Structure 1
Amino acid sequence: MLIWVCLHCLLLAFTFSSAKVLHLDKSLLVSWKTDQEVATINIKADIGTQDWVGVGFSDYGSLPGADLCVFWRDWTGQIFFTDVSVTADGLIKEDTINHCHGMKWRPKERRSKKKNLRNISEFNNVPTIEYVYQRRLWTCDEESYRIEDGTTHVVWAIGQGPLYKLDGLNITSSFNVRTGMSRTRFIDIQTIPDPGAEPLVFTNHNLSISSKDTTYFCSVFKLPNIFNRKHHVTEYGAEISTGNEDVVHHMELFHCQDEQEFPLWNGECGDKNAPEILKRCKKVLAAWAIGAGPFLYPADAGLAIGGPGFSPYVMLEVHYNNPLRRTGIIDSSGLRFKISKELRKYDAGILELGLEYNNKMAVPPEMKEFTLTGSCVQECTAVSLPKSGIVIFGSQLHTHGAGKRVQTTLVRGGREYIVNIDKHYSTHFQEIRELIKPVHVLPGDSLLTSCLYSTLNRENITLGGFGFTEEMCVNYVHYYPKAQLEVCKSSVDTDDLYEYFDKLNQDEGQETNKDKSVEENYRSIRWNKKRSGDLGTLYTQGTLSMQCMRGTGEPFPGTWNQVPQVKVVEPFKADTDKCANNNKNRVREEKRNLKKKSLDDDLPYTPLLKRDKPRMKRMEHDHNHMQKRLFNKFADTWDDYGLWGVDKRNQDDLADTDQEDDFDDDEEYVDNLDEDVVENPYLETYDDDLFSSKKRMLGSM
């Protein structure tokens, strides 16, 4: 086992995590900034002089159903910029209303020391085209994609031209079109890393992975002596062995809470020979899942680690998903942290919400949509949270392969509020996300985590469990100040579930009975729509079995079986009235009302913490200096353009050269997209005058 430190690797990874840049392909880069209503999007593309490029969005990354803005040239040499959708047959259909506004473009000469310059598209005479345009996040048009917080699937296509017309073009043709998809959080908060923090990494060391499809491997570490003093974790992320990105599914670091010495043991987590004392390693310090980037804590909160009375032992748990049962996989993956001895105002904590890790909750087969909900009931928060409550500032939603949509809501006085929602969730992109609006949770509030699944391609029941072909529904929420509550999750009460099995046997002749296990009963049922619907009714109306637990694994005082369901009188409604009442005055009025609300009012949302201005100014200066040093890092691609109109030359050359503006004199200069990122996009509006331009034909290059 090894605690491995790589300062350069950490600085590089965390520096680029805050930039709103996505490298879609070696020949295609997109960068952007957003405010409350508008996205300004910048595209750099290496394409042939006659070729076209389209970038846009779809629900889950497929081209059919996608919404694209396409830059293209017709056979006469004229350039167009067109808003299109893609039909189920893969044909481009020009939209009735153009929402791709104000496009400006310029050709950029690609400079390279290589004699033979060719890019992936294999076209000769390849220039770099750069263009910028704007698009509303919500267009209120059924033909257009709504850009919302959560996972965004960015789709793209590059094809040969020129074209006689764009409408009717088959975008799925592999002969002359290249396509792809990337996932990102399009609407994001930029958090500045703390340059004074030091790196600390816990990893396995040259571990031979089992050929089983699912393996949980545990390793115990002892913290260095510097942790005799309390520190704060300011950010953390994954350290994945190259080539194992598809095998390492998720990881957790647990604190071993006991005054005794712990053996530095490693092995499969369920090993019967594992020391009994390892059951004391239960308190979650950090959690990561596939697709997640680094997570940065807000400036006034950090994860406490070390200090007097703090047990120096931690346990790393890694879930390896190996569906192909490959052999010979060697892995040294783990979690990396940045720590600071400069303590912040609050200690942060992690709370597990959702469903218990058992097989009592299940998803029937051949279901287009089926929802499971895990509850953190008011009876639990009432006895476990401080009187002043806690503030949730981060969230990591988690399911396995069947999950399609996940959300957590807060229920106070029967009214439901959103905490976090991902309408286009992907198990391959499970980020730890800072909330745009932190949520204040009080004792007596309830928290509901709901996961929508699709099992159309599954022939039998999908049970809850640890394997990837089984399912989970979890939200790891990050909050401050730290409380004793560690787990607040539920499942259907066992007695109610067996009553359901008994009713199926008596009323419908199903081969279920009280002597079979839960799994045996579920797999004995011949599933149809009625039985699936009845199971869903049981889950929403039956009583609950609750886990209301401390980090030690001990339950809080209370009765945690036969717990009533959470009563929701006024359900949360999606913010669809943006389109029904689409006017700027209403939006401004809502924002003014929201800012007037205090934490004692009904609304649970709290403003972002006020920053320590001198400290934040220093951090921002150091962060910008670090980005400047890394300016021209990638030698073989052109994604290092830091400023609009910068040629591919080293930074010293640029310092001595006046940049030439390739736009015509009457065209507006476009600012650097990486500057002036709005920290809280709910505080500003956008000028509608920017959307007065009409679709127009531009001159040729």
Structure 2
Amino acid sequence: MSKNLIIVLCFCWVILEECAALSSPIAPFATYKHSAELQKDIADLWWTVDDAEQEITFELHIKSTGWIALGISPAGGMKGADIAIGWVESSGKVFLQDRYSTANSRPMRDNTTQDWFVLQGQEKDGWTAIRFKRLLHTCDSMDVPIKSGTNILIFAYGLVDLDSNRPEVDIMYHGTRRNSRMLPLRSYADPPADEKFLGLDTFEFRSDNYIVPSNDTTYHCKIYKAPSQYPHKRHAIAHKILIDPDNIDLVHHLDLCECDPTATFDDNNLPDDLCDSIPDEIRLCSSNFATVWAVGGDVTREFPEEAGYAVGGNSETKYYMIQMHYDNPRLSSNRRDSSGIRFYLGNELRQYDLGFLTFGIGSTPSGLAIPPKVERFITDSFCPPEATRNFPKSGINVIFALPHTHLQGSSTWTKIIRNNTAVQYLFNAESYDFNYQFQNRLPKPIKLYPGDSFATRCIYNTMNKDDVTLGGERTKDEMCVNMFTYYPRMNDLYACVTLNHDSAWQDVMNTSSPIDYKQVKDWLLTKNWTSESTKQWQNFYERAPRLVIYGKSGYFQDQMLSTLPTYEDFKAEECHK
């Protein structure tokens, strides 16, 4: 195995079932797959995506008897937003207008086509409820496509209706009666209410009043002994991330990893320190991913009825590690944290055990080096068929996806490559936002088989940076990983990631000497970036040989790819109404 193998990170899993209680006194007109409270006691939203018809149906309830509006925004504000504005007159007649905003000003009527269609509406108890629909892609330049990944919703309301008899009277400014919400409309995993798990057995892993250092970024690692009170196998059916309410601004993400079965510790003195201070102690606990929570995501996750996370009995996992990332840009001091995770155990075993699998690029300078002032920089990785040769012949079923980059990431996807042909996206986060990292429930399980390969791409925008962005764990560094939850669980493959091979660095650095990571990092930090060198750097990433690392903690294998394999790609979707 290459001495340059580095352990990447720790992430992955989730699932849906019930929706949290909403505020509206009006019962929805229909049954929906998803719901979310857009603003407490003010605005609720229900929706269903029909993939066959390529359309989405919304039902918006807002505490107002005036006009109400919902928009899809490309960047979080009014500019470029596609907006539906509706109202219900005293006669009961419902109106809906298709509007578009060219700036942070009153949205204009869509002068191309009407693409929002009203279905029903009513006013009751001071609230307005309107049901409406539109296509996911309307082919209209004044509409915003509802893409896979995270979508930015904006909403607002007025105190009076528009006058349907006087079209020259336009919408009045909403003032502070507005807000926004990030949601993965096409893959939302609705969080269940805590009450659903009352009475179930639980166990927790939590920090114990940890003093958070006054540094901008801290990675703290703590080993926990697996629960020993369950002599027979049990299935966790859900978990809840327990964020210390005093430290919501500090806790950026929590990773739970399984320690390799060969890892041994003194139970009376388990490792508990900065991750960089105990690398040898945690080496076998840093790459077998179990779950993750990241900023902006829902804290409660429920697993599907057919699968659970196995604990107790003769489980090989005797220890776990939590890696906690604290983001402390204000350099606050004397902050104590007791965040952690709670598991809810079902009363009956389920059919399958859940497993976790990650594809992408190693989070080091030799894996990622993104030049500054680039609107679109592409990085690719490839997981070859050798890595999946031990998949069960009947296949595995992927049910959840968690895409992950840092601040510069704008889009990421993983494609399934079968017989040198791309057959479908495993997940496509066309629209990605680092501050809202949702676990995405796939509309239906995706089957993977022995010999499948996987191509992963991340796209970055560094127009706001003057210096190179390198792979690493700090928020200002970058990552490129897509993490998946599946069943039935395998025990020999947790990750498949790539780095640029040493020979690629020797070539670009014009040296025949052995390469180490510090040398690569120092060279990159002193490199002069121009528009021409940036183009050359993209070419370098496209042709550089790769080192593929795959397997599980303690048993990683590596393979060199002299170039990224080519495959027959599927055609980009064309917009059809």
> Shared topology, TM-score over 0.5?
yes
Taking a change above 3 Å as real, the CA distance of residues 200 and 22 of structure 1, as seen in their structure-2 partners, is: same
Choose from 283, 292, 296 the match for 1:291: 296
Taking a change above 3 Å as real, the CA distance of residues 134 and 388 of structure 1, as seen in their structure-2 partners, is: closer
Matched residue, 2:78: 63
Matched residue, 1:554: 555
TM-score by length of 1: 0.69
C-alpha displacement of 1:426: 0.8
Deviation sequence 1:325-349 (CA, Å, 0-9, x none): 2223322211222223522222221
Aligned equivalents of 2:485 and 2:168: distance in 1?
A: 48
Gaps of 5+ in 2: 1-15, 22-32
Higher-Rg structure is: 1
Aligned equivalents of 2:453 and 2:94: distance in 1?
A: 55
**What pairs up with 1:588-599 in 2 under 5 angstroms?**
none
User: Residue 279 in 1 paired to residue 279 in 2?
Assistant: no
**What pairs up with 1:393-542 in 2 under 5 angstroms?**
393-416=399-422, 417-483=424-490, 484-502=492-510, 517-542=519-544
**What pairs up with 1:590-669 in 2 under 5 angstroms?**
none
**What pairs up with 1:142-153 in 2 under 5 angstroms?**
142-153=141-152
Aligned equivalents of 2:245 and 2:518: distance in 1?
A: 45
Matched residue, 1:244: 247
C-alpha displacement of 1:281: 1.9
Gaps of 5+ in 1: 1-11, 110-126, 504-512, 583-701
Matched residue, 2:235: 232
C-alpha displacement of 1:418: 0.6
**Number of aligned residue pairs:** 530
Contact kept? 1:81, 1:103, Cα under 8 Å: no
Contact kept? 1:418, 1:572, Cα under 8 Å: no
**What pairs up with 1:279-428 in 2 under 5 angstroms?**
279-282=283-286, 283-293=288-298, 294-308=300-314, 310-340=316-346, 342-360=348-366, 361-382=368-389, 384-416=390-422, 417-428=424-435
Deviation sequence 1:640-693 (CA, Å, 0-9, x none): xxxxxxxxxxxxxxxxxxxxxxxxxxxxxxxxxxxxxxxxxxxxxxxxxxxxxx
Match for 2:180: what amino acid? Answer: M
Contact kept? 1:94, 1:167, Cα under 8 Å: no
Aligned equivalents of 1:167 and 1:398: distance in 2?
A: 47
Matched residue, 1:253: 256
**What pairs up with 1:127-146 in 2 under 5 angstroms?**
127-146=126-145
**What pairs up with 1:171-210 in 2 under 5 angstroms?**
176=175, 178-188=177-187, 198-210=201-213
C-alpha displacement of 1:314: 1.6
Aligned equivalents of 2:433 and 2:207: distance in 1?
A: 27
SS in structure 1 opposite 2:247? coil
Aligned equivalents of 1:104 and 1:351: distance in 2?
A: 43
Choose from 14, 17, 23 the match for 2:38: 23
Match for 1:327: what amino acid? Answer: S
SS in structure 2 opposite 1:325? coil
Taking a change above 3 Å as real, the CA distance of residues 328 and 169 of structure 1, as seen in their structure-2 partners, is: farther
Match for 2:316: what amino acid? Answer: F
C-alpha displacement of 1:366: 0.7
Taking a change above 3 Å as real, the CA distance of residues 275 and 499 of structure 1, as seen in their structure-2 partners, is: closer
Matched residue, 1:92: 107
Structure having the larger proportion of residues in strand = 2
C-alpha displacement of 1:515: 11
Contact kept? 1:228, 1:307, Cα under 8 Å: yes
Aligned equivalents of 2:482 and 2:318: distance in 1?
A: 27
SS in structure 2 opposite 1:518? helix
C-alpha displacement of 1:168: 11
Aligned equivalents of 1:23 and 1:530: distance in 2?
A: 46
SS in structure 1 opposite 2:229? helix
Contact kept? 1:217, 1:266, Cα under 8 Å: no
Match for 2:554: what amino acid? Answer: G
Percent sequence identity is 27
Taking a change above 3 Å as real, the CA distance of residues 104 and 255 of structure 1, as seen in their structure-2 partners, is: closer
Deviation sequence 1:83-132 (CA, Å, 0-9, x none): 101003534121132222235333223xxxxxxxxxxxxxxxxx322222
C-alpha displacement of 1:67: 0.6
Choose from 112, 118, 127 the match for 1:102: 118
Contact kept? 1:408, 1:448, Cα under 8 Å: yes
Match for 1:130: what amino acid? Answer: A
TM-score by length of 2: 0.83
Aligned equivalents of 1:271 and 1:473: distance in 2?
A: 21
Aligned equivalents of 1:80 and 1:515: distance in 2?
A: 62
SS in structure 2 opposite 1:83? strand
Matched residue, 1:220: 223
Contact kept? 2:34, 2:47, Cα under 8 Å: no
Aligned equivalents of 1:73 and 1:222: distance in 2?
A: 59
SS in structure 1 opposite 2:262? coil
Contact kept? 1:215, 1:268, Cα under 8 Å: no
Contact kept? 2:35, 2:190, Cα under 8 Å: no
Contact kept? 1:189, 1:436, Cα under 8 Å: no
Contact kept? 2:382, 2:565, Cα under 8 Å: no
Contact kept? 1:92, 1:169, Cα under 8 Å: no
C-alpha displacement of 1:554: 2.1
Taking a change above 3 Å as real, the CA distance of residues 564 and 267 of structure 1, as seen in their structure-2 partners, is: same
Deviation sequence 1:123-178 (CA, Å, 0-9, x none): xxxx322222232333232222222432121111234667688889798x78x354
Match for 1:24: what amino acid? Answer: Q
How large is the Cα RMSD of the aligned pairs? 3.2
